């Protein structure tokens, strides 16, 4: 369809425009992530901006590969389908990218970033979303330039000005390990020894409550899932789990701890 000046939908929504739009959303998310505005739901706009940037990067790649705007509409906002379509057409996605993109499509995460909903659920960490955007900006940008589509090279801000990267996040978690209490270390040691990233605990968190505050543990209740107050699903996010596995030797698990009661459980007589 064209308008009165002869421009079609494909003219208006071209690969270059989609790419620069994606970068604008990505960098806006990075700015908000860095400054941590003191509002009640500061992460929701950040995750929405990251989500939309990833969607636009994928659509930019697909438009550059010949898909029309009409053909793109069949994917709507389904980033997992967009990712698979882009990969089939030659876009290189690492495993971390695929995991993040898949999780974006689960548990209504994209809708949850736009509207207030209650309940615990799993969603990608902001640092993981940031890493995906950074990689897509590079690989999609290189692809567009190789196809003679003029996109600007991007100067990454100095470390003192930019938001936390995946490497910064890993260093922060590693630094935090030294300050863990004995009870926190026992919980992590038990989970590593049993290779249990996902576990259940009381809805108040029990002895794991401080690990939840540290964001090393988070709730993993699916939307609409019914849970018992003493058996609510919790998990260690995958990026943090990988870090803990790399430091497994620092969390020895004695036979008494390995075979004893769950260290995050609070005995009913102590409540």
| pLDDT tens per residue across span 172-220 | 777 788 899 999 999 999 999 999 999 999 999 999 999 998 889 988 8
pLDDT value of residue 109: 47
Of the residues 142, 164, 186, the one at which a domain ends? 164
Angle 15-35/43-64 helices, nearest 10 degrees?
Answer: 160
Give the least confident one: 43-52, 140-149, 205-214, 240-249.
43-52
As for how many domains the chain has, the answer is: 2
pLDDT at 225: 75
Confidence of residue 262 (pLDDT cuts 50, 70, 90): very high
How high is the pLDDT of residue 206? 94
Residue 4 lies in a domain: no
140 in the same domain as 124: yes
Q: Please report the pLDDT score of residue 159 as a whole number.
A: 40
pLDDT digits (tens, 9 = 90+) for 121-171: 456 788 889 999 999 999 999 999 999 998 887 765 544 444 445 555 667
Predicted pLDDT at 3 = 55
**CA pair distance 240, 247, nearest whole angstrom:** 11
The mean pLDDT of the chain is 83
User: Are 121 and 206 members of one domain?
Assistant: no
Higher pLDDT, 169 or 56: 56
Residue 3 placed within a domain: no
The answer on 63 and 117 residing in a single domain is yes
Give the model's pLDDT for residue 12: 81
User: Which one of 143, 164, 185 terminates a domain?
Assistant: 164
pLDDT score for 158: 47
Q: How far apart are CA 37 and CA 35, in angstroms?
A: 6
Q: Which residue has the higher pLDDT, 229 or 268?
A: 229
Residue 156's pLDDT is what? 59
In a domain, 47, yes or no: yes
| pLDDT at residue 266 in the model | 92
**Cα dist. 54→16, 57, 97, 222 in Å?**
15, 5, 10, 23
Residue 154 domain-assigned (yes or no): yes
126 or 41, higher pLDDT: 126
- pLDDT number for residue 117: 46
Per-residue pLDDT, 134: 93
- Both 190 and 266 in a single domain? yes
Same domain, 146 and 52: yes
* Single pTM value for the model: 0.57
Residue owning tokens 């509409």: 73
Q: 234 and 159: one domain?
A: no
pLDDT (mean) for 242-262: 93
From 121, 149, 164, give the residue that closes a domain: 164
Residue 110 and residue 19 share a domain: yes
Does any domain span residue 27?
Answer: yes
Q: Which domain holds residue 125?
A: 9-164
Measured between alpha carbons, how far is 251 from 268 in angstroms, rounded to an integer? 27
Tell me, yes or no, whether 148 and 204 share the same domain. no
User: Which residues face 219 on adjacent strands?
Assistant: 234
Does residue 243 belong to any structural domain of this protein? yes
Question: What is the Rg, in whole angstroms, of the alpha carbon atoms belonging to the chain?
Answer: 22
Residue 1 lies in a domain: no
188 and 213 share one domain: yes
Residues 65-115 pLDDT 10s: 999 989 888 877 788 899 999 999 999 999 888 888 888 876 454 545 444
Per-residue pLDDT at 103: 83
Q: Which residues pair with 199 in a beta bridge?
A: 234
Same domain, 107 and 149: yes
Residue 78 placed within a domain = yes
Q: Is the pLDDT of residue 38 over 80?
A: no
pLDDT for the residue numbered 40: 65
- State the pLDDT at residue 47: 87
CB 199 within 8 A of CB 191: yes
34 shares a domain with 104 = yes
> Do residues 28 and 80 share a domain?
yes
């Amino acid at each position: 369809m064209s308008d009165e000046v002869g421009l079609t939908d494909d003219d208006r929504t071209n690969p270059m425009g989609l790419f620069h739009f994606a970068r604008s959303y990505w960098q806006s998310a990075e700015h908000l992530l860095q400054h941590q505005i003191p509002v009640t739901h500061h992460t929701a706009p950040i995750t929405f901006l990251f989500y939309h940037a990833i969607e636009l990067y994928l659509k930019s790649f697909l438009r550059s590969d010949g898909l029309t705007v009409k053909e793109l509409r069949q994917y709507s906002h389904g980033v997992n389908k967009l990712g698979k379509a882009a990969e089939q057409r030659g876009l290189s996605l690492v495993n971390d990218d695929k995991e993040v993109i898949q999780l974006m499509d689960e548990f209504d995460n994209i809708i949850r970033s736009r509207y207030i909903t209650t309940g615990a659920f799993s969603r990608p960490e902001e640092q993981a979303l940031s890493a995906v955007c950074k990689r897509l900006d590079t690989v999609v940008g290189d692809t567009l330039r190789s196809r003679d589509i003029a996109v600007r090279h991007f100067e990454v801000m100095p470390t003192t000005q930019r938001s936390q990267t995946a490497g910064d996040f890993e260093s922060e978690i590693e630094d935090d390990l030294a300050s863990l209490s004995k009870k926190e270390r026992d919980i992590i040691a038990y989970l590593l020894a049993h290779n249990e990233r996902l576990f259940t605990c009381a809805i108040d968190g029990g002895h794991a409550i401080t690990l939840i505050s540290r964001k090393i543990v988070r709730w993993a209740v699916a939307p609409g899932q019914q849970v018992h107050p003493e058996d609510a699903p919790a998990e260690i996010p995958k990026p943090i789990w990988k870090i803990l596995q790399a430091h497994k030797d620092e969390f020895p698990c004695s036979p008494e701890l390995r075979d004893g009661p769950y260290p995050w459980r609070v005995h009913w007589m102590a409540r």
